[in-house]
Structure 1
Amino acid sequence: MGVSGSGKSTIGQKLARRLAVPYAEADNFHSPRNVAKMRAGRPLDDEDRRPWIDAIAVWLAEHVEGGGVVSCSALKRRYRDRLAAAAPDVFFLHLVGSAELIAGRLAAREDHFMPVSLLRSQIAALEPLAGDEPGVVIPIDGTPEETAALALAAVKEGTPVQDR
């Protein structure tokens, strides 16, 4: 989980390979309407996100037994609660970094619908993991390999959310 540009797709794919489980890219669950709205520089609201979160929850429920990794912003607690209701053993990896680092990554991306201009709205909407949520905060200031190694260790250890 995390804002756009935090590395969810890159780390999610690496983690899924290392765990030998299926991977799903949450961007692929967005409706064409949502993608068009973001491409136009307009942030999604809760109503836009509801069917998207529900579709991701279905994917998670279908992968409860064998496991899986899905990259999803899951910016708000209520979204994460919906995902956890579908997959009670869900474990969130909150990828965090400075706004400057993430903005630089967004600016360097090609062929993605999420413009840098929406980063501020995502940061404003973000509700960090709470101490009672299953997950851990992972810094993204290292290389993708270093970040993936931290993510893998956290998943294997079931490390709780750390003090922020």
Structure 2
Amino acid sequence: MGNWYEIIADRDVSEAEAPRLAERMRVWLAERKVIEATRKREFLGKWIHRPGPAYQSTLEEPNLYTKTVKGLEFVVRRNVFFQMPLKLTCGACGVRFEPDGESWERWSDAADAWCRGEDTVPYVCPVCGVAERLTEWTGDAPWGFGFLGLEFWDWAPLSEQFIREVTEQLGHRTVVVRGKL
């Protein structure tokens, strides 16, 4: 069993701007009837917005399933939005890899440093040795580092169109993180 999540994480929002932007997104999604306007504490102890009557308009395949949908949580704090396994692509040499062993330890240490407030902490590619800011790493299954994430719990996969619309509304670069608890 378990619970699936899909997160649209804002890569560029500032800590100060995140609460205002989260509220703007809440209003936008509620007006479109994607979510209910008020939130309830009912899933894993989280305050979530239940799906609204138009939530299926956000899905890649509407009507895929409807009974298990939990809702949307706005995560507004310094947070690492992660999935496993981590799959990265080096921007310098183009190699695709999953950190393991020593490269995993370096990644984990860098993520811990970012959580402590070191926003510019680098991560060094284990293949070419080029350092890139941790928050700039991308790949097939990247992590999101930021102050705002829209966590969709047990929704069917979101459509690319909806993800683009959310990204446009946020006005920043985003990363999509998918996984299961």
Higher relative contact order structure (alpha carbons within 8 Å, sequence separation ≥ 6) = 2
* Structure with the higher strand share, 1 or 2: 2
| TM superposition score category, shorter chain reference | under 0.3
Work out which of the two has the higher radius of gyration on C-alpha atoms and give 1 or 2: 2
Structure number with the higher helix fraction is 1
TM-score by length of 1: 0.26
Question: What is the TM-score normalised by the length of structure 2?
Answer: 0.25
